[in-house]
Amino acid sequence: MSLTKPSLSLLAIAGAVLLAHLAVLQRLPAMLQVQTPLVVQTLSTRTIAPPPVPPAPATPRPVPPKPVRKAAPPPPEEPSTTVATAEPVEPALPEPVPSAPEPPASAPLPVEAPPPPEPPASAASAPAPPAVPLTLATRFAFPEPVRLLYALTGESKKLHYSARGELLWKQDGQHYEATLQASMLFLGSRTRTSTGSIAPEGLAPQRFSDKWRTEVAAHFDQANHRASFSANTPEVVLQTAAQDQLSVVLQLAGILAGDPAAYPPAATIAIQTIGPKDADLWIFSVEGPEKSFLPYDSLDTLKLVRKPRKEFDQKVELWLAPGMGYLPVRLKITNANGDYVDQQLRGVEKP
């Protein structure tokens, strides 16, 4: 291989570069030397004990101030547990009118009443109110079957109303059935029914029912002298000639028609009366004859009144027509709060 001119030129350039680097490296020691000579001095040390420091006087430790206890706030008053009993809110429309006298619930008659406690000395001398004996009639004359139509007017919670009613009475000398119904537009009807037999003591009910929305009933066990209730209230003892709240009106008709002379004005008739939930003693006083002007006609009537004996008793006024077998041609019931219903004869039909 032969070297050309360009190859020789490259070798010459490489050699020149190497010579230049070699010259620079040879000058580095002189450039790194310090111009002023460095003098190093040797120091010797000794330890000198410091003079004793007098102890500082003891500084009393500051006593932190006692925390001031704030008086505990009185416990909040417990809310009163007394709750006022509110009357249930009822709709503005009046309830259907009760078709027969319906006294408030009273205590059931016990099977065997315990002996009464001895009165205190201060009251021992006070005379006890006379007991009213039950009316035990022996002569009866019950009216023939009939349908009586009534016009009803009344007031309930300051609201006046009117309604229609009817009494369907059936009897064959051995059994009877009475149905009293009152109906009002938009509120439906209320029906009371009494069924039973005719005994020597008059009417002997077997079942009495009161139906409005739901039905409650009283069942009579005449053989064992007991009455029970579908409302699960306690049983009661049946007294002689006991009636229900519907048959009592027909029993009065039979008593007065059977022996009218035995019941002059101011006479009383006392009958144990069974409602759909309990029993009570209804005492009627004979007020005397009265002329009644009714939608049906003007009639000669005999007025009887059951006056309230207890706070919430109803006042019941009856007008019986002797010319119609002492059937009820007018019946007015007044509650303790002033509400009333007045039922007056407007028509007579065959059953």
**Domain membership flag for residue 31:** no
Q: How far apart are CA 327 and CA 294, in angstroms?
A: 14
Question: What sign does the CA torsion over 135, 141, 146, 150 have?
Answer: negative
Per residue in 56-114, pLDDT (tens digit) is 555 555 555 555 555 555 555 544 443 334 344 444 444 444 444 443 333 333 333 33
The pLDDT value given to residue 56: 53
Number of domains in the chain: 1
Q: Which domain holds residue 300?
A: 133-349
User: Could you report the per-residue pLDDT of 195-214, keeping only the tens digit for each?
Assistant: 999 999 999 999 999 999 89
Whether residue 169 lies inside any domain: the answer is yes
Residue with tokens 């005449």: 222
Percent of the chain with pLDDT over 90: 57
pLDDT of 80: 44
In this prediction, residues 318-330 reach a mean pLDDT of 97
124 within some domain? no
3-state secondary structure of 226: strand
pLDDT > 80? residue 17: no
**pTM attached to this predicted model:** 0.64
**For residue range 210-266, what is the model confidence (pLDDT) as tens digits?**
999 899 999 999 999 999 999 999 999 999 999 999 999 999 999 999 999 999 999
Residue 249 lies in a domain: yes
Contact 233, 108 (CB under 8 A): yes
Residue 312's pLDDT is 86
Average pLDDT for 132-149:
94
Residue 33 lies in a domain: no
For position 259, which CATH number holds?
2.50.20
245 close to 101: Cβ distance less than 8 angstroms: yes
- What pLDDT score was predicted for residue 283? 96
Residue 5 lies in a domain: no
Residue 201 lies in a domain: yes
